[in-house]
A and B are shown apart, each in its own frame.
Chain A
Amino acid sequence: VELVRALTELREAIAATRYALPLPTADLAGDAASAIVAQLDDYLLPRLRRLDAPLLVVVGGSTGAGKSTLVNSLVRAPVSVTGVLRPTTRTPVLVCHPHDAPWFTESHLLPHLTRTTGVTVEGASLQVVSAPALRPGLAFLDAPDIDSVVDANRALAIQLLAAADLWLFVTTAARYADAVPWDLLQVARARGTTVALVLDRVPEGAAEQVAPHLAEMLAAYDLGGVPMFVLPETRLDGLGLLSEQLVAPLADWFGALASSAGARAGVVRQTVDGALRSLVPSIEGLAAAVDDQVAAVRALRSSAHAAYQSAQSTVEQGVRDGGLLRGEVLARWQELVGTGDAMRALQARVGRARDRIVAAITGRTVAGSQFQAAVEHGLITLVRSAAADAAEQAATAWRLHPAGAALLATERGRVDLAAPSPDLPQRVERLVRDWQRTVLDLVRTEAGNKRLIARASAYAVNATGLLVMISVFTATSFIPTGLEVAVAGGTTVAAQKVLEAIFGDQAVRELAERARSDLLHQVRTLLDTEEARFTAILDRAGVEAGTADRLRAAVDAVEQARRAAPLPDSPAVPLPPAPAGAGPTAPPASASAPPPSAPRPSAAPPSAAPAPAAARAPGQGGDGVAR
């Protein structure tokens, strides 16, 4: 119960995980995830709820291997269509004893397949047929092929194989080295599914070579303990069945399995246990894929960020020495203070002279041409160009990343990320105007204050001047001439103006510094919205960092539950051994082709010489089962 709950949680966690970024691992992970979910739904959860349910043998293999014929022959009735056209079986057929039929028709296993009883309907359906010839406790499922041109067959077959308690893998002498079935056998081995193997349609005399080679290959693929049966290429009887004699070893083997509850439980136990065990590495694979996604998102995000960071620093460089901005502040200052043209020139000259002196002392050059009032144009160009470069740089960085390239490709229809957003020029102009407005406000609040200081200082200087003048007057016997008064007044005014210019220049410098940081702040905001065009795509992809941990936690819970509550231990009954006499026996059909309806007795009885590989002892891989 604990295990079922843990598995349900794991299923939810897997189903909730998305692999949005098209990384190399993402497709594989998506397929693997849906396969795991399917296996949980179709097999593990229903099977764990009822461990004593009848054993399901899925007969799977290549197209044309004779799966349907084999199933028909085992149940001694033509339940599944056979034929020469490939692929023959398109709807899976489940054959069971009438007694077991309710379990299979009630959609415990494979709940997504609709059950039909007779007529085949298109779509995902499962035809359930009762066959009294079969013993209860064991059912055969004739699966579609795994390698024909019909893709739906392959997907369905893989789904069915995942739901098998025991997989009866059928191959032929012509097919046994095909790559596709071996890939599936690898999957079965990784999942711990119990496998039995039939080498079908072996031509005369070929068994001596083919069977040992197949056994070698099995051993090389770490499937050495799999029971193997060899059936010859032969003519079918009137019902399209193999002769009873030929399938006898196989039928006996399954009979023994069906009659022994212990052996059945052993098979189920091994398959379920193997499937549970295999969850750990496959979920780790999924979690790693999620990690890849998270890492890719981080890499893409940081490359976009780096691009816009460098754009920001380009703008910072551009306004660093302050001349550009001081022109703006100075102009606003003069407009507010309301100086005349003479004063304007004086103030500009003071600023320039100060720059020259600083330059002479520090050795830095003066960019004199920057000291102009046309700040809008320069700023707009600077910001626009920086944003355009950043967009291009970020897009290039993304293009070099597999996931980034795919994201760009999907976005291409809507926005061109390599170019800045189309309304950027307007936004930059707006930004500069907004900034000018704040500069104006800044100057407005500061100007009065600074001017007062300038005035006060000027008065102080003037007072000193007055004192000096009074002493002069004393010396000239207090005879003030009109001329002297005029000179005194003139110097006072001039001193005040010069000082105002000097203090004003200082104020302008301080304000320019503040205006600069304000501008950079606004540019930062603008570039952030530009950068958001990239990050929004990543956000939309919906990669969550915590998903991998949730997957790992869920699979840990399953593993703990599995350890805590081991499956009910079956009595140590091994699988019945593969009978030694299952070698290829029937003589070949003659080259002249009699019509298939003519019943051709498979003449010779099982020969005394057994196929070497068929004698192989079926040492079971599952722990505890063979002991």
Chain B
Amino acid sequence: VSLAVRGGRSRVDSVIERVEALRRFLAAAQDHVPEPELAPARTVVDRAGQRLALSRDHTVVALAGTTGSGKSSLFNALSRRRLSKVGVRRPTTGIAHACVWGLESASTLLDWLGVPPNRRFLRDDPGAADDDPALRGLVLLDLPDLDSVERSHRLEVDRLLALVDLVVWVLDPQKYADRVVHEQYLAQFRGHRDITVVVLNQADLLTPVDAERCLADLRRLVDDDGLDGVPVLATSTVGAPGLARLQDLLERAVAARQAALRRLAGDVDAVVDDLAALVDRAPPADAVDRGAQRALADALAQAAGVPAVVAATRRAYVHRAGAAMGWPVLRWLRRLRPDPLRRLHLPSAGTRDNLPVPVSSLPGATPAQRASVGLAVRTVGERAGGGLPGPWPAATVSAARRRLDDLPDALDVAIARTDLGLGRTPFWWRIVGAVQWLCTLAAFAGLVWLAVRYALFALGLPELPGPRVGRLPLATLLLLGGLLAGLLLGALVRPLIGIGAGRARRRAQARLRASIGEVAGELVVEPVRTVLLAYGEARAALRSAR
């Protein structure tokens, strides 16, 4: 008889790496998957960490079973001492007992198992007549029953069964087919076939023929529980079949020192199988849909007031060009009208990165615009998570939305920081402005000259001789020519200003779109991408935990 060992040594050796992989899976998934779905895996990882940190030379074997099946008798018989109380009053054992074979007392292990100190016994008498050197390293636990009216016993059993390395299920001819044992316990251990032993105790009560039939029936039930291959033995503490085969089996298990790792391997198998559905589809190749991103940028641009800023930029260009190149005599009139960009409280050339940005006076988004931003953000999340299983689509949508409240301010800052390209006065504005001034000065000079001449004439003084160009006096020419040239120049640059304004508008449009795109990337797409990365990591981690 031997344990139903599956897989080779490598499967056991890799347990530590697999637990580590499971830990990586948890780290990747924990922010995106509801905690209840991860709780079993977390328990396994924690427990594995604790168990591996404790003595691996000890093998914790639990005797579990129904009340009255003779767990305590078996415990006493294996330890060859009367350690656990045996009785007819049911339920007999209420608190787990432990017996340790070997020199070390394994007290930290027993502390971890939660066996009270007064229930711990030590078999450390080497050389004694009843010494079992082959059992060195065995920690045998006598568990309370799992089916009596004392519900607390069941809780204690459930707690300890989650911790021990090997379980010997002790059944008896009267109770071997009880529902509670098979449905609620044995069937739950189908992932732990290689650390499960079933014994039919009190076999001495049956005739050998009946015992054979009973054992065969139990074998069938155990197979139905999904535990095929698990050793099923008949034992008796007082009569015929005896304990030799069980003892032999325990000796080999203790000698192999593999039970703890096998148990953890089984635990990891179980949770990995449960978790597989969470990451069973390949992540999408194109992480975040381009079309959805473009729609998002459009919606954000509308909501942030980009069209208004672009229009204001164009008008501001015209306004400022007028101020720089208009007819100097009437230029001041421009001052009476507000600068369109300044009305929006936007700087012309963007704010430098290290300076704080004042809030702009752009009108807030309308409900319709807000709604379209909401839709676009949701679409980005849904498209990204569309092909993913389980809770992940919800995670991508909520990741896309996570910073929705920060969006308006981030957009405002982005717009305020964008260089709209009106910061520098173009060179040709200066030249034209200077020419305008020259013209005006010429006209003014002509005017003054004419005024002087008029004054001389009025006072009856002799006329000053002045240069003439052709038949016209130079003063008149200066005045009229200056005025005419100014007006002409103003008319000539008008189409140029229009062209420049158009260019400024397009430039502002492109730059604002780029800034908005950055904001969308940072606040919406990046969180979604983080979720997708976490998915990929979780998937890879779970595969290596397999």
Report whether A177 and B149 are in contact in the complex, using a CB–CB cutoff of 8 Å. Answer: yes
With contacts A367-B366, A384-B375 known, is A63 near B178, CB below 8 A? yes
Please choose the segment from A80-88, A287-295, A338-346, A494-502 that sits at the chain B interface, where 4 or more of its residues have CB less than 8 A away.
A80-88
Report whether A175 and B174 are in contact in the complex, using a CB–CB cutoff of 8 Å. Answer: yes
B183 — nearest CB in chain A belongs to which residue?
A149
User: What residues on A are CB-neighbors of B207 within 8 Å?
Assistant: 593, 595-596
Contact with B along A195-223 (1 / 0, CB 8 A): 00000010101100110010001000000
Interface assignment of B546: CB less than 8 Å from any CB of chain A: no
A209 to B86, CA, bound (A): 13
With contacts A148-B178, A149-B178, A369-B363 known, is A174 near B149, CB below 8 A? no
Report whether A154 and B367 are in contact in the complex, using a CB–CB cutoff of 8 Å. Answer: no
A213 to B68, CA, bound (A): 15
Interface assignment of B238: CB less than 8 Å from any CB of chain A: yes
Report whether B89 and A210 are in contact in the complex, using a CB–CB cutoff of 8 Å. Answer: yes
Report the minimal beta-carbon distance from A348 to chain B, rounded to whole angstroms. 17
Interface residue from B173, B239, B363, B372 paired with A64 (Cβ < 8 Å): B173
A62 to B148, CA, bound (A): 13
Q: Which of A64-117 contact B (CB under 8 A)?
A: 64-65, 84-87
Interface assignment of A480: CB less than 8 Å from any CB of chain B: no
Interface assignment of B67: CB less than 8 Å from any CB of chain A: yes
Report the minimal beta-carbon distance from B190 to chain A, rounded to whole angstroms. 15
Q: Which of B322-378 contact A (CB under 8 A)?
A: 363, 366-369, 371-372, 374-375, 378
Q: Which of B129-175 contact A (CB under 8 A)?
A: 147-151, 172-175
Contact with A along B192-215 (1 / 0, CB 8 A): 000000000000111110100110
Chain A interface size band reads 35 or more
Interface assignment of A151: CB less than 8 Å from any CB of chain B: yes
Please choose the segment from A22-30, A45-53, A385-393 that sits at the chain B interface, where 4 or more of its residues have CB less than 8 A away.
A385-393
Interface assignment of B182: CB less than 8 Å from any CB of chain A: yes
Interface residue from B147, B240, B375, B378 paired with A178 (Cβ < 8 Å): B147
A317 — nearest CB in chain B belongs to which residue?
B367
Instruction: List the count of A-B residue pairs having beta carbons below 8 Å apart.
Output: 150
A474 to B366, CA, bound (A): 59
Interface assignment of A238: CB less than 8 Å from any CB of chain B: no
B88 — nearest CB in chain A belongs to which residue?
A206
B379 — nearest CB in chain A belongs to which residue?
A388
A176 to B176, CA, bound (A): 16
Report whether A379 and B89 are in contact in the complex, using a CB–CB cutoff of 8 Å. Answer: no
Interface assignment of B447: CB less than 8 Å from any CB of chain A: no
Report whether A177 and B151 are in contact in the complex, using a CB–CB cutoff of 8 Å. Answer: no
B299 — nearest CB in chain A belongs to which residue?
A381
User: What residues on B are CB-neighbors of A367 within 8 Å?
Assistant: 363, 366
A315 — nearest CB in chain B belongs to which residue?
B367
Interface assignment of A378: CB less than 8 Å from any CB of chain B: yes
Chain B interface size band reads 35 or more
Q: Which of A138-187 contact B (CB under 8 A)?
A: 147-151, 154, 172-180, 182
Report the minimal beta-carbon distance from A232 to chain B, rounded to whole angstroms. 12
Interface assignment of B180: CB less than 8 Å from any CB of chain A: yes
Report whether A385 and B371 are in contact in the complex, using a CB–CB cutoff of 8 Å. Answer: yes
With contacts A149-B179, A209-B87 known, is A388 near B378, CB below 8 A? yes
User: What residues on B are CB-neighbors of A571 within 8 Å?
Assistant: none
Q: Which of A357-411 contact B (CB under 8 A)?
A: 365, 367-370, 377-379, 381-382, 384-386, 388-389
Report the minimal beta-carbon distance from B169 to chain A, rounded to whole angstroms. 14
With contacts A314-B367, A388-B378 known, is A147 near B149, CB below 8 A? no
Interface assignment of A324: CB less than 8 Å from any CB of chain B: yes
B393 — nearest CB in chain A belongs to which residue?
A418
B177 — nearest CB in chain A belongs to which residue?
A86
User: What residues on B are CB-neighbors of A85 within 8 Å?
Assistant: 177, 213-214, 217
User: What residues on A are CB-neighbors of B431 within 8 Å?
Assistant: none
Report whether A174 and B366 are in contact in the complex, using a CB–CB cutoff of 8 Å. Answer: no
With contacts A177-B148, A369-B308 known, is A318 near B371, CB below 8 A? yes
Report the minimal beta-carbon distance from A160 to chain B, rounded to whole angstroms. 17
Report the minimal beta-carbon distance from B448 to chain A, rounded to whole angstroms. 43
Report whether A172 and B177 are in contact in the complex, using a CB–CB cutoff of 8 Å. Answer: no
Report whether A378 and B204 are in contact in the complex, using a CB–CB cutoff of 8 Å. Answer: no
A201 — nearest CB in chain B belongs to which residue?
B174
Report the minimal beta-carbon distance from B404 to chain A, rounded to whole angstroms. 12
User: What residues on B are CB-neighbors of A369 within 8 Å?
Assistant: 305, 307-308, 363, 366
Report whether A149 and B89 are in contact in the complex, using a CB–CB cutoff of 8 Å. Answer: no
A182 to B91, CA, bound (A): 14
A381 to B366, CA, bound (A): 12
A86 to B179, CA, bound (A): 11
Report the minimal beta-carbon distance from B152 to chain A, rounded to whole angstroms. 12
A177 to B172, CA, bound (A): 16
Interface assignment of A475: CB less than 8 Å from any CB of chain B: no
A386 to B371, CA, bound (A): 7
A597 — nearest CB in chain B belongs to which residue?
B207
Interface assignment of B90: CB less than 8 Å from any CB of chain A: yes
A150 to B177, CA, bound (A): 9
With contacts A84-B214, A179-B148 known, is A64 near B371, CB below 8 A? no
The 8 nearest A-B residue pairs measured at CB: A318-B367, A174-B68, A86-B177, A378-B368, A385-B371, A177-B90, A206-B88, A64-B174
11 residue pairs bridging A and B, Cβ less than 8 Å apart? A86-B173, A149-B179, A149-B182, A173-B68, A173-B88, A177-B149, A378-B369, A378-B372, A382-B368, A385-B372, A593-B205
Residue ranges of A at the interface with B (Cβ–Cβ < 8 Å): 62-65, 84-87, 147-151, 154, 172-180, 182, 201, 203, 205-206, 209-210, 213, 217, 314, 317-319, 324, 365, 367-370, 377-379, 381-382, 384-386, 388-389, 591, 593, 595-596
Residue ranges of B at the interface with A (Cβ–Cβ < 8 Å): 66-69, 87-91, 147-151, 172-180, 182-183, 204-208, 210, 213-214, 217, 221, 224, 238-240, 305, 307-308, 363, 366-369, 371-372, 374-375, 378
Known pairs A179-B151, A591-B238; list 6 more (Cβ under 8 Å): A64-B174, A64-B175, A85-B213, A147-B179, A179-B149, A378-B368
